[in-house]
């Protein structure tokens, strides 16, 4: 179980670094296999150098109930291009050949993991160099399904807290959460309206009363200006749908990748001067 770069190590170390540098970490989401395997791998490999501190890699699912149209279409494109869980894990293995530092978190829905078998999935993810998991449709009530086995396997299980997570639920949400907490800035699906920074700041402060776990804020953050506002107080800023749109914006897949990396650089720069 003990390796030189354990999962706990990579995410914890990255947030310790960015805290020390006095800035928020940039957490970027891309959908694995969008628009095809090779392009997606090229994007993934470029993200770290462009300034992504943590990478969320979306595991495509036919029924992404918590996602808006941008990510719905991206995961559809990936599945249509033949993306599988094996290929998603292979992308992480490829990345780890050149990048041993950037934490990678797989994000998606439970059924593709359940279909593979939890133990088999965790073994393969760990071996590929995955650091953590975000599984949208597993609330703390179902920790025995995946969260506890993942923690046992040395993978962080990153939970979402939302505006509806009240004081009664918050301790339960924080229990067994590790790596960071993903604060969903508004009720709704990914790619929605921009949150009010003032309200989010109050919510983040409320959570900090219960825990010193790093808190990354996501949903609706698209631009450098928005990232700067949230980055002024949050430990991390998550950008997803805007990067998905960038990937789809190019005339060729390679141009899409360049657009993603360009936006990543802008966002990273914004966070450097946010405080």
Partner 1 sequence: MNQQRPTPSLRHGPDPRGFFGDFGGRFVAETLMPLILDLEQEYDAARQDPTFADELASLSADYVGRQSPLYFAERLTEHLGGARIYLKREDLMHTGAHKINNALGQILLARRMGKRRIIAETGAGMHGVATATVAARFGMDCVIYMGSTDIHRQQPNVQRMQLLGAKVIPVTAGDGTLKDAMNEALRDWVTNVDSTFYIIGTVAGPHPYPALVRDFQSVIGREVRDQITAKEGRLPDSLVACIGGGSNAMGLFHPFLDDPEVALVGVEAAGEGLDTPRHAASLKGGRSGVLHGNRTFLLQDDEGQISDAHSISAGLDYPGIGPEHAWLHAIERAEYVAATDREALDAFTLLCRKEGIIPALESSHALAEVIKRAPRLPADHLMVVNLSGRGDKDMATATECLADELGLGKPDQQD
- Which sequence positions are flagged as catalytic? 56, 67
The site map against partner 1 for 191-210 (x = CB under 8 A) is -x------------------
Scan residues 57-86 and list those touching partner 1 (CB under 8 A).
61-66, 68, 72, 79, 84-85
Decide if 192 contacts 186 (C-beta within 8 A). yes
- For partner 1, which residue of 4, 20, 164, 252 counts as binding (CB under 8 A)? 164
Task: Tokens 């957490």: give the residue.
Answer: 27
> Is residue 184 near partner 1 by the rule CB under 8 A?
yes
Cα(117)–Cα(15) distance, rounded to whole angstroms?
31
> Is residue 153 near partner 1 by the rule CB under 8 A?
no
Decide if 215 contacts 181 (C-beta within 8 A). yes
- Which lies closer to partner 1 via its Cβ, residue 160 or residue 239? 160
Give Cα separations from 89 to 105, 252, 270 (angstroms): 11, 25, 31
Give Cα separations from 128 to 77, 116, 120, 221 (angstroms): 24, 15, 12, 30
Cα(218)–Cα(2) distance, rounded to whole angstroms?
32
DSSP summary character for residue 24: P
Beta pairing, strands 236-239 & 215-218: parallel
Decide if 208 contacts 184 (C-beta within 8 A). no
> Is residue 249 near partner 1 by the rule CB under 8 A?
no
- Which lies closer to partner 1 via its Cβ, residue 43 or residue 165? 165
- For partner 1, which residue of 160, 216, 230, 270 counts as binding (CB under 8 A)? 160
- For partner 1, which residue of 130, 136, 224, 260 counts as binding (CB under 8 A)? 136
- Which lies closer to partner 1 via its Cβ, residue 149 or residue 188? 188
The minimum distance between CB 119 and partner 1, in angstroms, equals: 15
DSSP summary character for residue 22: T
- For partner 1, which residue of 116, 208, 210, 265 counts as binding (CB under 8 A)? 116
> Is residue 154 near partner 1 by the rule CB under 8 A?
no
The minimum distance between CB 157 and partner 1, in angstroms, equals: 13
Return the structure tokens found at 184: 């969903």
- Which lies closer to partner 1 via its Cβ, residue 36 or residue 99? 36
Q: Which stretch binds partner 1 (CB under 8 A): 14-22, 148-156, 159-167, 228-236?
A: 159-167
Decide if 227 contacts 239 (C-beta within 8 A). yes
Cα(220)–Cα(142) distance, rounded to whole angstroms?
27
Please report, as ranges, the residues that interact with partner 1 according to CB under 8 A: 61-66, 68, 72, 79, 84-85, 109-116, 136-139, 141-142, 159-166, 169, 173, 184, 187-189, 192
């Amino acid at each position: 179980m003990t390796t030189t770069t354990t999962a706990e190590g990579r995410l914890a170390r990255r947030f310790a670094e960015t805290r020390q540098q006095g800035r928020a970490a940039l957490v970027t989401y891309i959908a694995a296999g969008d628009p095809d395997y090779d392009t997606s791998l090229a994007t993934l490999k470029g993200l770290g150098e462009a300034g992504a501190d943590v990478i969320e890699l979306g595991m495509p699912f036919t029924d992404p109930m918590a996602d808006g149209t941008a990510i719905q279409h991206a995961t559809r494109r990936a599945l249509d291009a033949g993306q599988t869980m094996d290929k998603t894990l292979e992308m992480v293995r490829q990345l780890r050949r050149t990048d041993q530092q950037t934490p990678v978190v797989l994000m998606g829905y439970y059924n593709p993991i359940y279909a593979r078998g939890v133990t088999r999935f965790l073994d393969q993810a760990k071996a590929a160099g995955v650091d953590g998991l975000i599984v949208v449709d597993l609330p703390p009530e179902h920790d025995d399904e995946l969260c506890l086995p993942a923690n046992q396997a040395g993978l962080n299980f990153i939970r979402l807290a939302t505006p509806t997570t009240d004081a009664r639920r918050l301790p339960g949400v924080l229990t067994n959460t590790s790596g960071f907490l993903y604060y969903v800035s508004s009720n709704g699906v990914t790619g929605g309206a921009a949150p009010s920074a003032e309200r989010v700041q109050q919510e983040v402060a409320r959570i900090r009363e219960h825990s010193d776990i790093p808190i990354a804020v996501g949903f609706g953050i698209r631009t450098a200006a928005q990232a700067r506002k949230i980055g002024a107080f949050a430990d991390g800023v998550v950008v997803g749908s805007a990067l998905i749109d960038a990937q789809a914006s190019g005339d060729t897949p390679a141009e899409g990748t360049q657009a993603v990396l360009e936006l990543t650089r802008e966002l990273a720069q914004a966070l450097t001067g946010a405080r």
